[in-house]
Structure 1
Amino acid sequence: MVGRLRLWSGYALFFYVVTHLLNHTLGLISLRILEAGRHWFVLIWHNPIGQTVLYGALFGHFFLALWSLYQRRALKLSPWEWTQWILGMLIIPLGATHVVGTRLAHELYGVEPGYPWVLGSLVVGGWTGIFQQFALPLVVWLHACIGLHFAWRLRPWYRTWLPLLYAIALLVPVGSIAGAAIALRDVADLAQQPGFLQNLFERAHVPSQDGIANLYDISRKLQIGALVVLVGALSARPLRDLWERRAGVVRLDYDERRSVAQPTGLTILEMSRIAGIPHASVCGGRGRCSTCRVRVGGQDRAKLPEASPEEQKVLARVGAPANVRLACQLRPPPGHYRVTPLLPASAGPVEAYRRQPQAHGGEHYVAILFADIRGFTSISEGKLPYDVVFLLNRYFRATGQAIEAAGGRLDKFIGDGVMAIFGLGKEPQVACREALDAARRMGEALADLNEALSGDLDQPLRIGIGLHSGATIVGEMGYARATHLTAIGDTVNIASRLEALTKEFAAELVVSQELLDRAGVDLGALESHDVEIRGRQGRLTVRAVKKVIELTAMS
C-alpha cells in the first residue's frame, strides 16, 4: 500500500509538472501568449480540489520516500536508484525558493505570481538565480522519468509505446526550457527601457526589502527543515537495527560455500546485497517484477510468515509453487534457511513476464518428439559453409512451423536434429495426438522443402522421427542466460532411441504403442516391433511408419 500511494502521488505531481512545462513552451510564441496560457494552468490547479491534490501529493510523496529510505536495511543501491535519490534531494533546495517566491509570496504579501514577476526577478537576480530556476525543471523531469520507467517497464504495453514515450520525454523539457529562455530574453530586452522593471514590480505588488528578506529566510528554514527530517530518517536506521538484533539472527545458506548471518528484520534481498551476493531485482525490491524470487528450504522453513496478498498476486502471475517466495518481500524470523535464487543476477524485464506454470519444476505427462535429417553429412559434403547454414535454417524453419502449428513447443535444435515437447498444461490424449499431427505436418513441410530446393540438392532430404509419451520431469534448466524450459527423464531418452531406430526399420517414423494408445489412434495395419531400449528393463512395442505424410490428419 505504501508503494502504491507513493506511485500515485508521483503520478499526480507528474501531471502537475507536465502542465507547468507545457505552459512554459508557449514562450516560444510570445511573452503575452505565455502569460495567457497561465490562466488555464491556474484554472486547473489554483482551486480547492487542485490545491488539495497537489499539496497532498507533494508532502505525501516526500514523507513516503523518507519512509522507504528508513525501511531499507542496506543502502547498497543500483546506479539508477542512486541517481533518482540524488535528483529527488536536489529538488528541495532548487524548488524551495521558487515555491516561496511565487505561491507563499502571493499568500503573505499579495504578490501576483505571474511570469512577468518571476522573469523580472531573474533579470535582477543574475546568473545564479537563472541557473537554479532553469535547473529545477530538468532535475524534476529526470527524477520523474526514471521513476516512471522503472514503474512501467514491466508492463506488456511499455515496449510498444517506448519510442513515443521517449520522444515525449525529450520534447517536453526541451520545449519548456527553450520557451522560458526566449521569454527571459524578451524581458531582459524590455528591462533596458528606463522604468520598465519598476513599473513591472509595482504591478506585481513586490514586497519591500524586509519582505523579500523574510521570504528568503522562510526558504532557508524550509530547506533546513527538510534536511533535518532526512538526517532523522537516516539516524533512526542504526537505532532500529540495534533494537532488532535483540530478536535473534537469521542464517541463510545459498550454496555449499556461501552463507549469510544477519539480525532479523531484513528481507532476503537485503541480506544478499549486504553480503555482496549478486541477486536479480529488476524493480529494485518493490515487489512488482518477481525476478528476485527464491526457493526456500531448510529446517526452519515452517516458521516463515504467510505471503501478503500483494506478494501472492505476483507469485501467482508466474505460477510459483508454495516453496517459492519473493526475496524482496520475505523477512524470515530467526532460524536457519536454505535459499536458491531462481533467476540469474543479470535477469532483465523479460524474465518478469508470465511464464509457464511448469517452469519451477515438476512431473508432467507429455509427448516427446525427436527428429533428424538422414545422411546430412553426405549431403553437406562439398557445399560451402554458407550453403549448409542456409539449408539448415530452411529445414529448421519448416519443421519449427510444423511443430508449433500442431500445438507443440520447440525445445532445442541439436546439430541437424530437433526436440519438441507436446502437452504442457494439456490432457495426455491431446498431447499424443498433437505429436502425431506434428510428425505428419513435418513430412508435408519436408516434401515442400525438397520441391523448393530440387535444383540445389543432389538428393532429397529424408527425415527420421521418434515419438514417445510418459511422465517426464519438466522445468527451467540451465545456467544464466542459457536457462530454458525443457524436459528430462526416461521418456526423453526413449524418444531419442526411437528416432535412431528409424534407420534400422527404414522408416520415417517410429512411434511407441504407449503414445498411440493414449492418443486413441489405431495403426494396427502397420508393422509392429518389440524393441529393447538400452538402459530400460523390458521390451517396448513400437510401430514403424514408412511415410509420415500418409498419416491421417489428426483432428
Structure 2
Amino acid sequence: MATRAKPNKKQNASARGKKPAWLGGIGLRQVRMFCGLVLFTYLLSHFLNHALGNISPEALHAGVLWHLEIWQFLPVAILFYGSVTVHAGLGLWALYQRRQFRWKTLEPLQLVLGLSVPLMIYSHVIVMRLGNVLYDQDRLYPQVLYNYFVASPSYRAWLMVAVMLIAWTHGCIGLYVWLRIKPAFRRAMPWLLAAAVLIPTLALLGFYQGGRTVAREAASPQWQANNLAPANLGTPEQQQTLEAIGNGFLIFYLGLIALALIARAVRAIIERRGGMVRLTYDGERSIRVPKGLTVLEATQRHNIPHASACGGRARCSTCRIRVLGDPATLPPPSPREAFVLASIGTGDDPSIRLACQLKPTQDLTFLPVFPPRNVAAARKAARAARIGEERYLVSMFVDMRGSTKLAESRLPFDTVFIVNRFLGAVSRSVIACGGQPNQFVGDGMLALFGLAETPREACRNAVRAAAAIGAAIDELNNFLGHDLPEPIRFGIGIHSGEVVVGEIGYRDHMVFTALGDSVNVASRLQDMTKSLGCETLLSDELRATAGLSEQALPTLELEIRGRTEPMLVCVVERAGDLVAVLNEDLVLA
C-alpha cells in the first residue's frame, strides 16, 4: 500500500510564511497611489456637490446631505481619514527621500502642490469637522458661504478658489502619472482632459452662484436667525478653542516639513562622511558618488544618459543593469524590485538589478541592458525633392519577427525598448551604407537608396546595408542574449526601379516618401522571407544593376502578388553572407 510522505515542520513553516506573489508588487508608491485615489474620489464628490449650486440652493443643500451620508459612514470615514494621514505622511517622506527633482517637471510640481494643500485648507477642515465632532455645530453651505462671501475679507474666497484648483491639479497630475502607461490611456485622454477642465469649472461656478445667493439673502434678519445661531457657528469660546487647535496644527505641520528638510541636510553630511563609491558605467566612464544614491540617481546627477521610461518608480525594467563582478556583495533587492525582476523572468539571476532601486555600498562595475538610443538619422536630400519627381531608387523593407509574441511576455516599456534597439541597429547600418531610413511602421522600416547616387552605387549600397544589418542584429542578439527567450529574427526585401518621390500627407503632417511598383515589390519580398525561411530576398534585376555575377547568389522564380508575371529573385538564407558575395565580386573585378 502506497504511503504519502509527510512534510516536515520546516517546510510547513516555509509554506505558511511565503507571501502571495501579488504582495511583492505593493510598495510605498502603490500605497500612496491608493490613498491618493481615495482622496481624489472625495474631491470629485465635493466638486460635483459644488456644481449643484448652479441649479439652486435647495439642490446644493440636498447634495451635501448625500455627500455627508456617504463620507461620514464609519467604515468610509476610517478609510478616508486613514488615507489623508498616510498620503500626507508619504508626501513628507517623498520630500525627504528624493535627492533630485530635475528628472521630470511634473514631479516637483506635484509634490509642492500636495504639501501646500494642508497649509491652505487646515482652518476650513478644523472648523467644519472638529466643530461638528466636539461641539455638534451644524455648519453647512449657508454658514460656509456666508463666512467667505460676507463675513470675511474677499481674499478668503479667492484663497478657497486657489486651494480647490491646487488640490484638483495635484490629483490630476497623480492620475496622469499613473495612467499614462496604460494601453487605453491615449484613447481615453481627450475625454479625461475634458472632464479635468469641465468639473472644476462647474464647481467654481456653483461655489460663486451659491455665494451670491447667500450674500443676497443674508441681509434678512430672519435668515440670520435661522443660519447664524450659536448652534450653527458655536460660541466665542468654542471658536477660540478651534482657532488654537488650528494654530497648533500649523506649527506641527510646518515643523514636519522643516524636519524633513533638516533630515535631508543631515543625510547629505552623513553620506559624504560615510564614504564614496566608484561606479564604472559600461566599462568606459567612472564616477564617484556618496553611498546611499541609487545607480540611476548617480548617473542622472552626472548627466550620463541612462534608459528609464517610468522615471525611477520601479514600474518598468528599462533601467536594469547587468552587474559585472560578484553580485553577492550587493544589497538584496527590495520586494518591489524583486517583483519587477520576477515579472520579466530574471528574478533568478542575481547579476540583473534595477538601477533605480540598487544602492551600492561598494565599488560597482555594470553594463546597462538598454542603453539609450543616441542615433540621429540623416535626412539628406529629402526636403529638396520636388513633388511628383520621378527617380530611380532602391527600396528596402526590413521587418522584425515575433514582436507580438515578445510583447505578450514582457512589460510594455521593455518591448518598446527592444524594438527601438532593433530599429536603431537597422538605421545605423542603412545610414553607414549611404541609405536613408524613410518610414517606421511598428517594428518595420522602409529605407531608400539612390537619392544622391547612381543606380549602380545605390544597388550595391543596398546589398552592403543588408549585410551590415545581419551583422548588427547578430551583435544585438549577443548583447541581449540573457534577456531574450530566443534571438531576434528579421526579414529584408530589396527591389529597385522608377518611383515617384515627394512629400505626401496633410498640412503639418507631410512626410517625404517614395511611391511606385518597386516599393510594393520590396514590401512583398520582405513578406515572402517568412514562408521561404530566409533573411533576405532581393530581385535579380537589382543584382544585375549592382554588377554582381549571376553565379554569386541562388535564384528562384516566384509569383509576386499584384504582378501578372513571375519574378526572378535571389534567395539569401543569412543576410551576413552577402559580405562574401561583395568581397568575391571585388576580387573578380
Fold shared by both chains (TM-score > 0.5) = yes
Query: Contact 1:69 / 1:234 at 8 angstroms: preserved in 2?
Result: yes
Is 2:575 the partner of 1:492? Answer: yes
Counterpart pick for 2:355 among 317, 320, 327? 327
Residue of structure 1 equivalent to 2:170: 143
Query: Contact 1:281 / 1:292 at 8 angstroms: preserved in 2?
Result: yes
Deviation for aligned residue 1:68: 2.5
Is 2:258 the partner of 1:231? Answer: yes
**Deviation per residue, 1:170-192 (Å, 9 max, x gap):** 22212211211111111122123
3-state SS in 1 of match to 2:232: coil
Is 2:291 the partner of 1:264? Answer: yes
Task: Check 1:385–1:353 CA distance in 2 against 1; reply closer, same or farther (3 A cut).
Answer: closer
Query: Contact 2:91 / 2:115 at 8 angstroms: preserved in 1?
Result: no
Is 2:494 the partner of 1:372? Answer: yes
3-state SS in 1 of match to 2:515: helix
Query: Contact 2:38 / 2:83 at 8 angstroms: preserved in 1?
Result: yes
C-alpha distance in structure 1 between counterparts of 2:31 and 2:115, whole Å: 19
3-state SS in 2 of match to 1:466: strand
Task: Check 1:463–1:138 CA distance in 2 against 1; reply closer, same or farther (3 A cut).
Answer: farther
Counterpart pick for 2:220 among 193, 215, 218? 193
Deviation for aligned residue 1:410: 9.7
Query: Contact 2:50 / 2:207 at 8 angstroms: preserved in 1?
Result: yes
C-alpha distance in structure 1 between counterparts of 2:488 and 2:30, whole Å: 42
Task: Check 1:367–1:69 CA distance in 2 against 1; reply closer, same or farther (3 A cut).
Answer: closer
Query: Contact 1:265 / 1:331 at 8 angstroms: preserved in 2?
Result: yes
Query: Contact 1:278 / 1:345 at 8 angstroms: preserved in 2?
Result: no
Residue of structure 2 equivalent to 1:344: 372
In the TM superposition, 1:85-96 aligns within 5 A as 85-96=111-122
Is 2:202 the partner of 1:175? Answer: yes
C-alpha distance in structure 2 between counterparts of 1:93 and 1:410, whole Å: 65
Residue of structure 1 equivalent to 2:515: 390
**Deviation per residue, 1:464-496 (Å, 9 max, x gap):** 34232xxxxxxxxxxxxxxxxxxxxxx431167
Counterpart pick for 2:96 among 50, 53, 70? 70
Deviation for aligned residue 1:339: 4.4
In the TM superposition, 1:92-131 aligns within 5 A as 92-123=118-149, 124-131=151-158
- The one-letter code matched in structure 1 to 2:115 is M
In the TM superposition, 1:278-293 aligns within 5 A as 278-293=305-320
Residue of structure 1 equivalent to 2:329: 303
Task: Check 1:493–1:346 CA distance in 2 against 1; reply closer, same or farther (3 A cut).
Answer: closer
C-alpha distance in structure 2 between counterparts of 1:162 and 1:496, whole Å: 49
**Deviation per residue, 1:126-182 (Å, 9 max, x gap):** 311101112222111110111111122122232232222222222221221121111
Deviation for aligned residue 1:353: 5.1
C-alpha distance in structure 1 between counterparts of 2:175 and 2:303, whole Å: 28
Deviation for aligned residue 1:326: 1.5
Residue of structure 1 equivalent to 2:246: 219
Task: Check 1:367–1:277 CA distance in 2 against 1; reply closer, same or farther (3 A cut).
Answer: closer
Query: Contact 2:278 / 2:364 at 8 angstroms: preserved in 1?
Result: yes
C-alpha distance in structure 2 between counterparts of 1:98 and 1:122, whole Å: 11
Task: Check 1:368–1:152 CA distance in 2 against 1; reply closer, same or farther (3 A cut).
Answer: closer
Query: Contact 2:53 / 2:59 at 8 angstroms: preserved in 1?
Result: yes
Deviation for aligned residue 1:350: 6.5
C-alpha distance in structure 1 between counterparts of 2:532 and 2:51, whole Å: 54
Task: Check 1:494–1:306 CA distance in 2 against 1; reply closer, same or farther (3 A cut).
Answer: farther
C-alpha distance in structure 2 between counterparts of 1:411 and 1:185, whole Å: 76
C-alpha distance in structure 2 between counterparts of 1:21 and 1:2, whole Å: 28
Task: Check 1:341–1:236 CA distance in 2 against 1; reply closer, same or farther (3 A cut).
Answer: farther
Task: Check 1:412–1:35 CA distance in 2 against 1; reply closer, same or farther (3 A cut).
Answer: farther
Task: Check 1:335–1:242 CA distance in 2 against 1; reply closer, same or farther (3 A cut).
Answer: same
Deviation for aligned residue 1:61: 0.7
Residue of structure 1 equivalent to 2:301: 274
Deviation for aligned residue 1:534: 8.0
Residue of structure 2 equivalent to 1:455: none
Is 2:389 the partner of 1:362? Answer: no
- The one-letter code matched in structure 2 to 1:342 is F
Residue of structure 2 equivalent to 1:156: 183
**Deviation per residue, 1:237-258 (Å, 9 max, x gap):** 2323444455542111225764
Counterpart pick for 1:467 among 554, 572, 581? 572
- The one-letter code matched in structure 2 to 1:165 is L
- How many residues are treated as equivalent by the alignment? 442
Task: Check 1:16–1:343 CA distance in 2 against 1; reply closer, same or farther (3 A cut).
Answer: farther
Residue of structure 2 equivalent to 1:83: 109
Is 2:82 the partner of 1:56? Answer: yes
**Deviation per residue, 1:21-55 (Å, 9 max, x gap):** 11111112111111101121111111221211111
Task: Check 1:366–1:245 CA distance in 2 against 1; reply closer, same or farther (3 A cut).
Answer: closer
3-state SS in 2 of match to 1:250: strand
Task: Check 1:467–1:410 CA distance in 2 against 1; reply closer, same or farther (3 A cut).
Answer: closer
The two structures have a TM-score, normalised by structure 2, of 0.66
Query: Contact 2:32 / 2:90 at 8 angstroms: preserved in 1?
Result: yes
The two structures have a TM-score, normalised by structure 1, of 0.69
Task: Check 1:369–1:34 CA distance in 2 against 1; reply closer, same or farther (3 A cut).
Answer: closer
3-state SS in 2 of match to 1:78: coil
3-state SS in 2 of match to 1:39: helix
Q: Quick one: percent identity of the two aligned structures? A: 30
**Deviation per residue, 1:291-324 (Å, 9 max, x gap):** 3233332x55542234344323323555669444
In the alignment, structure 2 segments of 5+ residues that lack a partner are 1-26, 376-410, 420-475, 505-512, 543-554
Deviation for aligned residue 1:330: 0.7
Deviation for aligned residue 1:286: 1.5
C-alpha distance in structure 1 between counterparts of 2:481 and 2:157, whole Å: 64
3-state SS in 2 of match to 1:285: coil
Deviation for aligned residue 1:91: 0.2
Residue of structure 1 equivalent to 2:453: none
Task: Check 1:204–1:37 CA distance in 2 against 1; reply closer, same or farther (3 A cut).
Answer: farther
C-alpha distance in structure 1 between counterparts of 2:345 and 2:99, whole Å: 29
Cα-Cα RMSD? 3.9
Counterpart pick for 2:41 among 12, 15, 26? 15
Query: Contact 2:51 / 2:206 at 8 angstroms: preserved in 1?
Result: yes
C-alpha distance in structure 2 between counterparts of 1:411 and 1:195, whole Å: 91
Task: Check 1:492–1:303 CA distance in 2 against 1; reply closer, same or farther (3 A cut).
Answer: farther
